[in-house]
Amino acid sequence: MIRLLFIAVGYCFGCIQTSFFYGKKQGLDIREHGSGNAGSTNALRVMGKKAGIIVFIGDMGKLILAVLLMLLLFKSRGPEYVLLIKLYTGLGVVLGHDFPFYMDFKGGKGVASTAALIILLDWRMAIVGLALFFGIALLNGIVSLASCVTLTSELILFTVLVLTGKLACGIMPVWEALLVFAFIVALSLLRHTENIKRLFRGEEKPLKIK
C-alpha cells in the first residue's frame, strides 16, 4: 500500500507539465509544434535555449521535490526505506510526466525526470550519465541517441551496484529494486520507439536550436 502512495504522490508532481505551461505562456501548444512531444528537447527545438533550460530544470525539479517530500514525511521509517521511496516516487513522477491525465495521457518521454532520479540514486551513476549524455550529444547532436545509450548504460550500472552491494536496497528485495528501475528505463526507451527506428534507418537528425 505504501508503494502505491509513493507512486500516487509522484504522479501528481509528474503531471506538472513544464513544457506545456511554458508554451501556453508563450501563446503556443508545444504538442502542435516540432515533434509534438511535451518535453525539454522539443521545447528547446521550438522555443529556443531559454525554454529548453527552463523546461529541463522544471522536469528534473518536480522529481527532486517529490522525492525529498516523501523522504521528509517518512524519515521516521529510517534509511532502510530510502531506496524504496526514491524508486517508487520516481516511478510515479515519470508516469505523470509521460501520461498526464489532463493532456489525454500524452506527455513527454521522461528523460529529464529519470536523470533527476539517477542523480538522487547514486553519485557514480550521475557522473557516468552526465559524461555519456553530453559526450554523445556534443559529438553528433542527436539527443535521442544520447538519451537511449545513457539510459541503457545506467540500467547496467545500477544492476552492478545493487548486485555487488555498493547500493543498499534496504527493505526492498534486490529483484524488486532492479525490476522497478528497469521498468522506468524501459518506459523511456519505449517512448523513443520512433526515434530508434529512425536511428537504424539513418534518418534521425541532429538537434537544431532555434
User: Which of 34-38, 77-81, 196-200 has the largest mean confidence?
Assistant: 77-81
What's the rounded mean pLDDT across residues 86-103? Answer: 95
Read off the pLDDT band of 43 (50, 70, 90): confident
Span of 18-22, 113-117, 143-147, 204-208 with lowest mean pLDDT: 204-208
Q: Helix crossing, 143-163 with 123-140: angle to 10°?
A: 160
As a whole number of angstroms, the distance between CA 193 and CA 85 comes to 29
Query: For residue 68, what is its C-alpha cell?
Result: 525529498
pLDDT per residue as tens digits for the range 178-203: 999 999 999 999 998 888 888 888 87
pTM over 0.85: yes
Residue boundaries of the structural domains of the chain: 2-201
73: enclosing H helix or E strand:
helix 49-73
Predicted confidence (pLDDT) at residue 140 exceeds the cutoff of 90: no
> Each residue of 9-23: pLDDT tens digit?
999 999 999 888 888
Nearest to residue 18, comparing CAs of 54, 50, 46, 72?
54
* Separation CA 162–CA 124 (nearest Å): 12
- Which candidate, 65, 92, 62, 127, places its Cα nearest to that of 2? 92
Please state, rounded to an integer, the average pLDDT across all residues of the chain: 91
Q: What is the pLDDT of residue 83?
A: 97
Q: Which three cell numbers stand for residue 125?
A: 551513476
123-135 residues labelled b (16+ CB within 10 A) or e (exposed): eebbebbeebbee
